[in-house]
Amino acid sequence: MLQSLITLSDQDIEVVITAVRQWCTKNHCEIDSNEGRRALTLAIDLVQNSARDRLFQNLTERLGPRSGQMDAETSSLANQ
């Protein structure tokens, strides 16, 4: 993963880090957690192969919500 990061431009690295931080914040996880590392790996792949302006959206579409977050959302819906 880090080898792929080295090949990116400074601008692409900033785009990747920003998108992953946004995803981690939205999904209540740390960037150095398993989910955060998974998001970082996918973001690097996406920035190399897709439009940079849609990176966060593509990341969210590919990863979806964290399973723990999905369980909490499902439980709250069931309790309504």
pLDDT digits (tens, 9 = 90+) for 38-74: 999 999 999 988 778 889 998 999 998 765 554 444 3
What pLDDT, on the 0 to 100 scale, is given for residue 6? 76
Q: Where are the domains of the chain?
A: 2-78
To the question of pTM greater than 0.75 for the whole model, the response is no
- The CA–CA distances, whole Å, from 15 to 8, 36, 43, 44, 48 equal 10, 15, 9, 9, 11
What pLDDT, on the 0 to 100 scale, is given for residue 52? 81
- Is the pLDDT higher at 80 or at 32? 32
